[in-house]
Structure 1
Amino acid sequence: MGKVILNGYILVPEAELDSVKRELIEHTRLTCAEPGCLKFVVEQDGEEPTRFNVQEEFIDRDAFEHHQERVKNSRWGSLTTNVSRHYTVVG
């Protein structure tokens, strides 16, 4: 089994921008502490403030799926239900 790499972006509704930015700090901390997380970067786009560019890398499919399950049941998961996700996943 090889690495799983996710690249893309999310679009956050303007009305939810402040709460998403606040929660992103904790979401990043929790994700980086997950077993198998090699890279997790979510950065607000410099030109489009409602866009956040996302880069994730996990050691294998199991670690990636564990992350996906954790997120579904997290504060981040419930807070970002209106976020539009645009990802490519390889691996």
Structure 2
Amino acid sequence: MAKIILQGHILVPENELLEIKSALLIHSALTQAEAGCIIFEVNQDAEQACKFYVYEEFINKAAFDFHQARVKQSDWGKQTQNVSRHYQVKKVD
């Protein structure tokens, strides 16, 4: 089975930055605890405080789909509805 990689960045509205950074701690812990998560990294840009680089790897499409469904129903999903997402998703054998 092919693993799934999501890579890109998010842009956070400046007035929501502190709230999003706080929520990211919980979101990261929950994602890293998912059975199919291999890597989950989110790093704030050193020069643009509202830009965060995202890199995720999941063991397969089912694990990635589970993650996406969980996120939509989570507090993170609700708190980040104003975040602009710029991702590429690819399968890697």
For Structure 1 versus Structure 2, the TM-score category normalised by the shorter chain is over 0.9
Q: Secondary structure at the match of 1:48?
A: coil
Compute the displacement of 1:18 (Å): 0.3
For 1:49 and 1:28, the matched residues in 2 are separated by: 18
Unaligned runs of 5+ in 2: none
Q: Which residue of 2 aligns with 1:35?
A: 35
The alignment of Structure 1 onto Structure 2 pairs a total of residues equal to 91
Percent of aligned pairs with the same amino acid: 55
The TM-score, its normalising length taken from structure 2, stands at 0.97
1:4-83 to 2 correspondences below 5 Å: 4-83=4-83
Compute the displacement of 1:28 (Å): 0.2
Please provide the CA RMSD for this pair. Answer: 0.4
Compute the displacement of 1:9 (Å): 0.2
Q: Which residue of 2 aligns with 1:3?
A: 3
Q: Which residue of 1 aligns with 2:85?
A: 85
Unaligned runs of 5+ in 1: none
Q: Secondary structure at the match of 1:78?
A: helix
Q: Secondary structure at the match of 2:52?
A: strand
Q: Secondary structure at the match of 1:46?
A: coil
